[in-house]
Chain A
Amino acid sequence: MTGSTRAGGGTRAGWLGLGAIGGLLLALGARSRRDAVAEPGGRTALVVGVVLAVLGLLLFALGLLLDARQALLSYLAAYATGLSIMLGALTLVMTCNITGARWFDAFRRPAEAIAASAPLFAVLFLPLAFGLSRVYPWAPAAAGDRRVWLNAPFFLIRAALYFIVWIAAGLLLRRWSLRRGAGAAERVDGRSRALSAGGLLAVAFTFSFAAFDWLMSLSPAWFSTIYGVYVFAGGFLAALAVLAFLEPGAVRNRLSGPTPRVDDYQKLGNLLLTFTVFWAYIAFSQFLIIWIADVPQEVAWYVPRVGGSWGGLALVVLVGQFALPFLVLLLRSVKRSPRRLAKVGAWLLVMHYLDIYWLVLPQLHPGGVHPHWLDLAALCAIGGCTTAYVAWLLGRVALVPTGASPGVPGGAEHALGAPVARSHRR
């Protein structure tokens, strides 16, 4: 009896703390170091995002009153999709900071803005923190020794820890990068590189454990150690897809940094190809190991997901997120065409959502796929909020830094697409 009240009190304190930290960092993240530049394209995205967000959040609030569990699980699917993309972008920025990939310069600004949207996700986590006991079967009364890990206060403390890591990494990397501009000889300075190296390790662990906590614990009796990597693989792929999808529009509206060259798109396309394969590899590894061992406790998670209409959806995701994009991305002509690559990106984003949907919603409808208007509402809410937030971040900085001097890699020379004397590009 006392246990439940203590858990309830913990929940309240937890979300209050989270809210305070989130609000503070939201404001911090939005504070720009450069003068606002009016960008018509960015403003459209901002307006569309805000309208979608308001509409989606209103419908979601209505859904909470009508069917709280459906609303919260629909919300969780949309939230996890967005969050995994944000973390994928953060991983990408860090990786490119360490490797010094020059092709990434053209995609750096949008990627950094997405990676810096962690404060928004901390705020958007609140409905889940509120509705903990309705979302997770372990929250009202966890069984046996799993209680040590799966209890509301510890769950929220861990969530706070994850957000601290992501917010700090995303904001600092973006700030240092913006402060640097293109006036400096080196695009990535030592501290960015150091933070990226350490941060990759921290993000790898927090991402994986967040996947365990927020998605895998929907079925508390089941576990798979590769699960975190599975969500990461999908999220990283989707982050690349967002960049591919965003870039032609961003270039048109001068929201991106230096204009990407055809070779840069090809490199993005190559990474997309790599990560469709990586995702399929991880997904298949998990499936094969569980299928071949055939232990009832492990198989229980797959039984509703590969049978009936959920099995159909699994097939759609397998073909749509692996087989089809794999074949299409083998074609050089697709990778070298920004418009075609944008289409592939849009397609992969839909598939990533369906992938997460397939992870989450069988928990509520084990009998079969059960599309609900709240799925759309939650998608609007999350998609609208993130679009508006990222467009706002992008619109507030001069994206082709005014101090750029010709001859500096990534500066004005790059913007003109000068083809000569770049033989050492990686």
Chain B
Amino acid sequence: MKAGVLAEFASAEGLLEALAVLRRNGYRRLESYTPYPVEGADDRLGLGRSRLPWFIFGGGVLGAILGYGIQWYADVWDYPQSIGGRPVHAVAAFIPATFEATVLGAALVAFFGLFVALRLPELWHPVFEIEGFERASVDRFWVGVDARDRRFDDRKVTGLLEGLHALRVVPIAEDV
């Protein structure tokens, strides 16, 4: 989210309660910033399952095919040699490198796929303007309501969050 209202909470329980209340009030475009993964937050944020694992699986399969293929190309097709009388197409000997290529393929897709999914790199974000927001990675729990939410109303949301004993409620905007 680039614009909307953020609220700071002192505990994960506070965050979970706030998310539940916001959902009950019909808000759907919610956001949270927490120092560690809070169990149960995913459901309340309305997050579906990520599709990234399927791409990672595909990356693994592709890596396996490429890994096996390059060995087959080199040892069977392009430059076959007899090594101690072993078969040229030595399946067992091809497995370790194929395994490594599988892991490499999956890991590359996971790493760069995550960057794409998170829209990284992003050098500046409106939340950076909030004084003390960095404690979201230490001991504070932040809940955000996106301004693009259909029901978004600056004053209503602020009032609702203040009623939930937020430590403070801060509006953010894309253009500072």
* Residue B95 at the chain A interface, CB threshold 8 Å: yes
Are B92 and A287 touching (Cβ within 8 A)?
Answer: yes
Please judge, given known A-B contacts A294-B84, A330-B57, A332-B49, whether A420 and B92 are in contact too, CB under 8 Å.
no
* Residue A425 at the chain B interface, CB threshold 8 Å: yes
Closest to B93 in A: A292
Are A423 and B93 touching (Cβ within 8 A)?
Answer: no
Within 8 A of A (CB), among B32-84: 36-40, 49, 57, 84
Q: Which residues of A contact B96 (CB under 8 A)?
A: 288
* Residue B16 at the chain A interface, CB threshold 8 Å: yes
* Residue A419 at the chain B interface, CB threshold 8 Å: yes
B-contact bits for A276-310, CB 8 A (1 contact / 0 none): 00000000100110011010000000000000000
* Residue B7 at the chain A interface, CB threshold 8 Å: no
Q: Which residues of B contact A294 (CB under 8 A)?
A: 84, 86
Complex Cα–Cα for A421 and B39 (A): 8
* Residue A252 at the chain B interface, CB threshold 8 Å: no
Are B95 and A423 touching (Cβ within 8 A)?
Answer: no
B-contact bits for A250-292, CB 8 A (1 contact / 0 none): 0000000000000000000000000000000000100110011
What distance in Å separates the Cβ of B96 from its nearest Cβ neighbour in chain A? 7
Complex Cα–Cα for A330 and B53 (A): 10
* Residue A422 at the chain B interface, CB threshold 8 Å: yes
Q: Which residues of B contact A291 (CB under 8 A)?
A: 92
Q: How many A-B residue pairs have CB under 8 A?
A: 29
Complex Cα–Cα for A419 and B13 (A): 11
What distance in Å separates the Cβ of A2 from its nearest Cβ neighbour in chain B? 48
What distance in Å separates the Cβ of A413 from its nearest Cβ neighbour in chain B? 15
- Most chain A CB atoms below 10 A, which of B49, B57, B84, B92: B92
Please judge, given known A-B contacts A284-B95, A332-B49, whether A420 and B86 are in contact too, CB under 8 Å.
no
* Residue B12 at the chain A interface, CB threshold 8 Å: yes
Are A420 and B16 touching (Cβ within 8 A)?
Answer: yes
Complex Cα–Cα for A105 and B96 (A): 37
Complex Cα–Cα for A420 and B84 (A): 63
Are A420 and B40 touching (Cβ within 8 A)?
Answer: yes
B-contact bits for A392-426, CB 8 A (1 contact / 0 none): 00000000000000000000000000011111010
Please judge, given known A-B contacts A284-B95, A330-B57, A420-B13, whether A425 and B86 are in contact too, CB under 8 Å.
no
Question: 7 closest Cβ contacts across the A-B interface?
Answer: A423-B39, A291-B92, A423-B38, A288-B92, A423-B12, A419-B40, A422-B39
